[in-house]
C-alpha cells in the first residue's frame, strides 16, 4: 500500500484498469444523455437519481458501503483502517441542462477508480492510517436549486440544512421533495481528515501550455449578485418612450456594463471576469414592456483590491442605468467568495506524484467554484485539473481526451496512496 505499489506495475493490469475506467465512464455518460453528446442531469431529477443508483451499484460491486446525509450527499465508504477518520475524494454527478459528460462526473468516477486500484493492489506497504470515502456532492451546479455547491456548503456548515431543504426550484418543488422523489437521502455524517478532488479545467490554460495536470494553488475571488430590475408593465406600441419604465432595457444595460467592466480591467495584471448567467423577463409577452427582470451578475478576480474596484464601478454604473431606463435596481441575495490559497504541502505532494509518473504539470488558479472550495476551509485539501479541449465547458461539446482522463486517475491513485499512508496529514491531527 506504499506509493510505489498504488499503480499496477504490470502493464497488462494497467491496461485492464484503464479499459475498466473508460468502460465505466461510457456507461455513466448514458444517464441523462442528450442528442448533442452531453448530459442533462440537473440535481434531484430522475436522471440524477438514475446516475446515483448506477454509481451505488458500481462501488458496492467493489466492496464499498454507500450512505447518504440529510441533503443527499452520497458517500461511498471503503473501510481499510477500522476506526480511523476518512480521506475523502469527490466531485458531483449532477450537471447543467445540456451540460457536458465530464464536468464533475469525471472526478467522482476517477476517485472511485483510484480507491478501487489502491484497494486491489497487493499490500506490500505499511498499513493505511485512514479510511477512504468517495463523495458525490448534491447539487454542485446550482442551476435547478440555487446556490451552487449546495451539498458541500451544508457539509461544511456554511448553509443550514433546513434552509437548503426548503429551497424551491422554478416550479416550486423543494429540495426536500426532490430528494424524496429520487430516494437518495439519509442521516449519515462523516469524519473527514483530508479532501482530494480532480476535475476538468473548464478553461484552456493547461492546453495552451501543453500540460496534462493542473495543480490548483488558489481560487479566484467572486462577488455574485442577484439583481431585480423593477419597471412598469405597459403596451409596447401605444406607450410613448418618455412614459416607459422598461425593466428589460435596464437589465440589458446592466449586462452590457458588466462586460465593459471586464474590458476596462483586461490590461491589468489581475484581470476581472464578469458574467450574467441567468436573466428572466416578466411577463415576457410580445407586446408588453417588461415590468421586471431577475438577473445574476458576477465579478471574479484573483486580487481582492481589484475586485473591490470593479465592484464599485458596477454599482456606480447601476445608478446611471436606473436614470437612463427609468427603473429601479434592487440588489437581492449576494454570495461573496474571497480568493483563497489551497494547502501548499498538498501542492508539493501532488507535484511529487506528477513527477514520479512523468506527467507534465503546472500550477493554475480556478475561476470556477468547486466543492473543494468549501472543503478546503475545514480540512487540508488538494485540487487537481485535467485539460478541457479548447476550454469548452457547460456545453455538450465539453471534451477531455481518454489519455488525459487516465493520466488523472493514475495521478489521483498515486496521491491517494500517499495521503492514506499519512504523508499529507498525520492520523492524530485530524479528529475534529
Does 280 sit near a second copy (CB under 8 A)? yes
Cβ proximity to a second copy, 85 vs 221, nearer residue: 221
Residues 383-422 that bind a second copy (CB under 8 A): 390-396
Stretch near a second copy under the rule CB under 8 A, chosen from 77-85, 125-133, 135-143, 354-362:
135-143
Stretch near a second copy under the rule CB under 8 A, chosen from 48-56, 77-85, 115-123, 267-275:
267-275
Q: How many residues bind a second copy (CB under 8 A)?
A: 71
**Contact with a second copy (CB under 8 A) among 157, 160, 277, 358:** 277
**Contact with a second copy (CB under 8 A) among 73, 152, 184, 252:** 252
In whole angstroms, what is the distance from residue 230 CA to residue 306 CA?
A: 29
Counting Cβ atoms within 10 Å, is residue 305 exposed (0-12), middle (13-18) or buried (19+)?
exposed
Looking only at the bridges linking them, the beta strands covering 272-275 and 361-366 are unpaired
Q: Give min distance, CB of 90 to a second copy, in A.
A: 19
Q: Give min distance, CB of 318 to a second copy, in A.
A: 15
* Selection from 347, 341, 228 nearest residue 290 by Cα: 228
Counting Cβ atoms within 10 Å, is residue 39 exposed (0-12), middle (13-18) or buried (19+)?
buried
Q: Which positions ≥6 away from 78 have C-beta within 8 Å? A: 63, 64, 115, 119, 131, 132, 133, 134
Binding mask 69-98 for a second copy (x = CB under 8 A): ---------------------------xxx
100 bridge partner residues: none
Q: Give min distance, CB of 396 to a second copy, in A.
A: 8
Q: Give min distance, CB of 278 to a second copy, in A.
A: 5
Distances from the Cα of 127 to the Cα of 3, 124, 287, 409, 414, angstroms: 12, 9, 72, 22, 16
Stretch near a second copy under the rule CB under 8 A, chosen from 20-28, 86-94, 180-188, 276-284:
276-284
Q: Which positions ≥6 away from 250 have C-beta within 8 Å? A: 229, 231, 293, 321, 322, 324, 325, 327, 329
Q: Give min distance, CB of 226 to a second copy, in A.
A: 9
Number of neighbouring beta carbons within 10 Å of residue 120: 12
Strand segments, DSSP code E, in 130-176 are 131-136
**Contact with a second copy (CB under 8 A) among 70, 185, 296, 379:** 296
* Selection from 125, 118, 138 nearest residue 55 by Cα: 138
Determine contact, residues 47/54, Cβ cutoff 8 Å.
no
Cβ proximity to a second copy, 55 vs 145, nearer residue: 145
Cβ proximity to a second copy, 374 vs 395, nearer residue: 395
**Contact with a second copy (CB under 8 A) among 20, 23, 256, 304:** 256
Q: Give min distance, CB of 60 to a second copy, in A.
A: 32
Q: Give min distance, CB of 302 to a second copy, in A.
A: 12
Does 291 sit near a second copy (CB under 8 A)? yes
Strand segments, DSSP code E, in 220-291 are 221-230, 234-235, 272-275, 279-282, 288-289
Stretch near a second copy under the rule CB under 8 A, chosen from 5-13, 159-167, 189-197, 253-261:
253-261
Cβ proximity to a second copy, 260 vs 330, nearer residue: 260
Going by the DSSP 8-state scheme, the letter that residue 343 receives in this structure is P
**Contact with a second copy (CB under 8 A) among 53, 168, 233, 427:** 233
In whole angstroms, what is the distance from residue 189 CA to residue 75 CA?
A: 9
Determine contact, residues 134/52, Cβ cutoff 8 Å.
no
In whole angstroms, what is the distance from residue 104 CA to residue 407 CA?
A: 17
90 bridge partner residues: 135
Cβ proximity to a second copy, 187 vs 240, nearer residue: 240
Residues 166-225 that bind a second copy (CB under 8 A): 201-204, 220, 222
Determine contact, residues 379/90, Cβ cutoff 8 Å.
no
**Contact with a second copy (CB under 8 A) among 22, 255, 347, 357:** 255
**Contact with a second copy (CB under 8 A) among 69, 141, 169, 414:** 141
**Contact with a second copy (CB under 8 A) among 17, 76, 310, 367:** 367
Does 358 sit near a second copy (CB under 8 A)? no
Stretch near a second copy under the rule CB under 8 A, chosen from 62-70, 128-136, 241-249, 339-347:
241-249
**Contact with a second copy (CB under 8 A) among 19, 26, 209, 235:** 235
Angle at 103 between CA 79 and CA 119, to 5 degrees: 20
Residues 98-127 that bind a second copy (CB under 8 A): 98
Amino acid at each position: 500500500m506504499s506509493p510505489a505499489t498504488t499503480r499496477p506495475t504490470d502493464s497488462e493490469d494497467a491496461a485492464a484498469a484503464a479499459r475498466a475506467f473508460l468502460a465505466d465512464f461510457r456507461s455513466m455518460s448514458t444517464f441523462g444523455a442528450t442528442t448533442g453528446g452531453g448530459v442533462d442531469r440537473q440535481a434531484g431529477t430522475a436522471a440524477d437519481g438514475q446516475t446515483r443508483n448506477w454509481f451505488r451499484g458500481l462501488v458496492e460491486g467493489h466492496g464499498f458501503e454507500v450512505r447518504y446525509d440529510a441533503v443527499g450527499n452520497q458517500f461511498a465508504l471503503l473501510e481499510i483502517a477500522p476506526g480511523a477518520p476518512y480521506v475523502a475524494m469527490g466531485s458531483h454527478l449532477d450537471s447543467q441542462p445540456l451540460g457536458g459528460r465530464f464536468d464533475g462526473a469525471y472526478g467522482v468516477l476517477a476517485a472511485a477508480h483510484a480507491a478501487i486500484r489502491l484497494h486491489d493492489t497487493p499490500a506490500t506497504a505499511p498499513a493505511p492510517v485512514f479510511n477512504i470515502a468517495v463523495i458525490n456532492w448534491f447539487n454542485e451546479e446550482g442551476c435547478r436549486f440555487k446556490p451552487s455547491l449546495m451539498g458541500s456548503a451544508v457539509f461544511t456548515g456554511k448553509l443550514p440544512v433546513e434552509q437548503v431543504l426548503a429551497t424551491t426550484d422554478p416550479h416550486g418543488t423543494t429540495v426536500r421533495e426532490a430528494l424524496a422523489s429520487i430516494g437518495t437521502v439519509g442521516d449519515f455524517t462523516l469524519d473527514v481528515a483530508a479532501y482530494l478532488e480532480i476535475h476538468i479545467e473548464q478553461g484552456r490554460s493547461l492546453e495552451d501550455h501543453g500540460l496534462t495536470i493542473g495543480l490548483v494553488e488558489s481560487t479566484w475571488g467572486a462577488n455574485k449578485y442577484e439583481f431585480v430590475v423593477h419597471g412598469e408593465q405597459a403596451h409596447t406600441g401605444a406607450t410613448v418612450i418618455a412614459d416607459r419604465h422598461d425593466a428589460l432595457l435596464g437589465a440589458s444595460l446592466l449586462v452590457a456594463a458588466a462586460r465593459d467592466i471586464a474590458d476596462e480591467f483586461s490590461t491589468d495584471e489581475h484581470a476581472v471576469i464578469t458574467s450574467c448567467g441567468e436573466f428572466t423577463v416578466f411577463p415576457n409577452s410580445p407586446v408588453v414592456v417588461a415590468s421586471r427582470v431577475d438577473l445574476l451578475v458576477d465579478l471574479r478576480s484573483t486580487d481582492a483590491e481589484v475586485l473591490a474596484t470593479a465592484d464599485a464601478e458596477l454599482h456606480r454604473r447601476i445608478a446611471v442605468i436606473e436614470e437612463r431606463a427609468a427603473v429601479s435596481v434592487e440588489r437581492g441575495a449576494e454570495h461573496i467568495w474571497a480568493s483563497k490559497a489551497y494547502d501548499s504541502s498538498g501542492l508539493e505532494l501532488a507535484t511529487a506524484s506528477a513527477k514520479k509518473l512523468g506527467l507534465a504539470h503546472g500550477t493554475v488558479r480556478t475561476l470556477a467554484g468547486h466543492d473543494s472550495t468549501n472543503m478546503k476551509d475545514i480540512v487540508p485539501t488538494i485540487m487537481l485539473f485535467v485539460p478541457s479541449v479548447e476550454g469548452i465547458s457547460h456545453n455538450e461539446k465539453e471534451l477531455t481526451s481518454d489519455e488525459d482522463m487516465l493520466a488523472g486517475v493514475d495521478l489521483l491513485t498515486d496521491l491517494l496512496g500517499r495521503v492514506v499512508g499519512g504523508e499529507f496529514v498525520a492520523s492524530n491531527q485530524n479528529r475534529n
